[in-house]
Amino acid sequence: MTAQLIDGKLIAQQVRDEVAAKVAKRTAAGKSQPTLATVLVGERVDSATYVRSKGKACEELGMGSVSHNLPADISQAELEKVIMSLNADKSVHGILVQLPLPSHLDEERVLQLISIEKDVDGFSPLNIGRLAQKGREPLFVPCTPYGCIYLLEKVGVKIEGSNAVVLGRSNIVGMPAALLLIGKNATVTVCHSRTKDIAAVVREADILIAAIGKTEFVRGDWIKPGAAVIDVGINSKPDATKKSGYRLVGDVHFDEAKEVAGFITPVPGGVGPMTIAMLMNNTYRAAEIQDK
Ligand code: GUN
């Protein structure tokens, strides 16, 4: 292995420790306990697991959490009422609507309704709009891309002037990751399902962020020697040696890529833990913003 492993679990724990210390200081000063409200619609197992982890992280860091678990057939009007009441609730500092929503619901309208000061996921059009514009600052940056950039900066990868390639253009990861990299003066190429010869594009990348949800899609011979590889994918791959019958792998073929890359994140234990750590930091900041 030539690549330096980026230990997301360790770095996420450091972020969490810092947030916990800031929360303790804040509450000791008599200020309100930063509190996150999660909204889960329906019973998707993956979404329910993520939401539970977010609530648990709040507890571990001394923050408050309230969860709204709503039925899959809730109407748009009822869901909007829940969001409006959370916007008005002074004891709630952050609102997180777990995505995806069931298809009968209008996600765009729901996200637009969240007060910008409580938009700890950074998905409201106001936050994303500011992220996309020069000289403007969003109040909150989406947690997974924020975690990716944090990892790169933490291990000392130079973003400015680099060629960065983002695989995937989702609202949750690919697009905001590309905007963040542009904001940090990288030259960014976004690849997607219609991109011709993705391998050739990836070969030019000093920084690669892979977020397309395809098992081990990126092969070792696509990686530029010394490149920093951030793997956002979480895919299950059949594995008879495991009790569960599968194991988690990324969008990058780790065993091949680690022989070529300069830095690489593992799956699991890379980007995954960073998402919640950044959410906790955003929730703490939301409370600070709302004091003013
Ligand atoms: N679904 C997958 N990732 C995320 C995330 O970071 N936030 C929300 N709200 N939903 C998600």
- Distance, CA 99 to ligand 1 centroid (Å)? 5
Nearest alpha carbon, ligand 1 atom 4: 99
Average pLDDT rounded to a whole number, residues 30-57? 97
Nearest alpha carbon, ligand 1 atom 7: 98
Q: What CATH fold (topology level) applies to the domain 142-272?
A: Rossmann fold (3.40.50)
For the chain, the average pLDDT equals 98
pLDDT, one tens digit per residue, over 245-270 is 999 999 999 999 999 999 999 999 99
SS3 16: helix
pLDDT at 292: 74
Tell whether ligand 1 has an atom less than 6 A from the beta carbon of residue 144: yes
Tell whether ligand 1 has an atom less than 6 A from the beta carbon of residue 96: yes
Whole-Å CA distances, 64 to 9, 83, 103, 118, 183? 23, 18, 30, 14, 33
Tell whether ligand 1 has an atom less than 6 A from the beta carbon of residue 282: no
Whether the CB-CB separation of 193 and 145 falls below 8 Å is answered with: no
Active site residue 54: yes
Q: Given 3.40.50.10860, 2.40.50.140, 3.30.565.10, 3.40.1030.10, which CATH number is that of 30-115?
A: 3.40.50.10860
Percent of the chain topping pLDDT 90: 99
Instruction: Tell me how far the alpha carbon of residue 46 is from its chain's centroid.
Output: 15
Active site residue 251: no
Short-list 98, 126, 130, CA closest to 113? 126
Average pLDDT rounded to a whole number, residues 148-153? 98
Nearest alpha carbon, ligand 1 atom 8: 98
Q: Which of 172, 173, 280 to mutate to test the pocket of ligand 1 (most atoms within 8 A of CB)?
A: 172
- Domain ranges for the chain, please list them: 30-115, 142-272
Helical residues (DSSP H) of the chain, grouped into ranges = 8-28, 45-60, 76-88, 107-113, 125-131, 143-154, 174-183, 198-202, 254-257, 272-291
Q: Which atom of ligand 1 is nearest to the CA of 99?
A: 10
pLDDT at 59: 98
pLDDT above 90 for 280: yes
Q: Which of 41, 50, 101 to mutate to test the pocket of ligand 1 (most atoms within 8 A of CB)?
A: 50
pLDDT at 125: 96
pLDDT above 90 for 54: yes
Give the DSSP per-residue string, 54-80.
HHHHHHHTT-EEEEEEE-TT--HHHHH
Average pLDDT rounded to a whole number, residues 172-200? 98
Is there a common fold for 30-115 and 142-272?
yes
Overall pTM > 0.75: yes
Active site residue 98: yes
Q: How far apart are CA 5 and CA 1, in angstroms?
A: 9
Whether the CB-CB separation of 99 and 108 falls below 8 Å is answered with: no
Whole-Å CA distances, 36 to 27, 57, 170? 15, 10, 24
Q: How far apart are CA 232 and CA 51, in angstroms?
A: 18
